[in-house]
Each structure stands twice: as C-alpha cells, then as structure tokens.
A = this chain, B = another copy of it.
Amino acid sequence: MKLYHSGASPNSRRVRIFLTEKGLSIPLIAVDLGKGEQHSDAYRVINPRRVVPTLVLEDGTAIGEVPAICRYIEEVHPTPPLLGETAKEKAMVAMWERRAELEGFSAVMDAIRNAAPGLKSRAIAGPHNYEQIPELIERGKLRVRNFFADFDDRLREAPFVAGERFSVADIVTLVTLDFATKAINFPVPDEHRSLKVWYDAVSSRPSMAA
C-alpha cells in the first residue's frame, strides 16, 4: 500500500503518526496542495473528493477519509492496537475519536477556511465551491475554547483520551492541538493543567515527528 498525502495537511499527519505507531513504513506520494495538485485529473481519479490523504492498496482500491484508512491499517496490522481491543474499548475509542474530530478538529478547520484570503469560495475542502462565512471564524474559535475545556475535564479522569491506553483518539487530539497553535495561534491555555500534562507526554512520543 501507499499513501498520497501532504506534508502540511493535518489530516495527512494523523495517518503518518498512525503508521509510525504501528512500526510501518510505506511509500508516501506528496500532493502539492499549494499548486492545486489535488484538483488535477490524475488525482481526481484516485480521490474524487480531491482531498488528502488517500491510501491506495495493491489492487488499486483507494480509501479516503482518515478513520477509514486507520480502520484498514488496524485490520491488516493489528499490533499494537490503536482502535481498542475489547468491544467496549473499540466503542470508547470510536466515541472519543469522533468527539475530538467534530468538537476540535473541525472547529479549527472552520476558523481557518472561512478566514484565509487564499480560500475564497473554498470554505469547505472537496469538489464543490462554498463561499466563506465570516461569522464562522468566531464560532470556530469559541468551539475550540470549549473543546479545550471539555478535554481538560476528560483528561483529569483518564490518562489517555479514550481511557487507560494510547489510541487513535490521542492522535487526533494531539494533531488538533498542534493545528490550533500553528494555524489560529491558540495554544492550550495554562489553566487547563490536565490537558497540558497529557499534551507534553504525548508530544514526546517519537511518532509525533511524522
């Protein structure tokens, strides 16, 4: 298998970290988003949604959407488990991964895409054009603040986002925090002590350089 990705794309980073945690090294093919390569005819055949990342299997099957890519990798390389082992763990990981995505990741994305001068008519990634809505910048930032507070509460009661051990829910949360710091200058506030302790611990994993 091989991964179409972009070095600057936080969704691509989620998969790169996941692969590294699995101890896997696969061919990475860079898609230059700055040059609009995701809209090229060649890439549209691979991913009609024109977004990165895409995992392409030996038989040519193209898998888009980060949780779907991680599901495939987990199935074919189950060790170490990153989506949970028991039925209950799998459910808790799925729940927290989704919460981090919808409450955190998508909020940062909204705040950026509705603001960037270079993304006029491109407020949502994908094949269709959508005009920016400036009110979504402030709503996005408010959502990020609430996400920080809610996940700080969560990490006061558990060492990792989904419970007792490291999982894909930690990966998406870490990528969201780094993305918020870099793209909208929202580092984790000092008062969120549990979130900061967790962030420092998870950031130091070698996979996070991926």
Binding site for B on A (CB under 8 A): 49, 57, 61, 63-65, 67-69, 71-72, 75-76, 87-88, 90-92, 94-95, 98-99, 103, 123-124, 126-128, 130-131, 133, 135-136, 139, 142-143, 146, 150
Contacts and interface: CB of A to CB of B under 8 A. Distances in A.
Given A75-B90, A90-B72, A64 B146 contact: no
B63 A95 contact: yes
In the complex this chain forms, how many copies of it are found?
2
B65 A99 contact: yes
A49 B99 CA distance: 10
A189 B146 CA distance: 39
Contacts of A150: 127
B98 A72 contact: no
- Name the residue among A71, A75, A76, A131 with the largest chain B CB count within 10 angstroms: A71
Contact of A139 (B49, B69, B72, B133): B133
Nearest to A99: B65
Contacts of A90: 71-72, 75
A63 B75 contact: no
Given A63-B92, A94-B68, A139 B130 contact: yes
Contact of A91 (B71, B127, B142, B146): B71
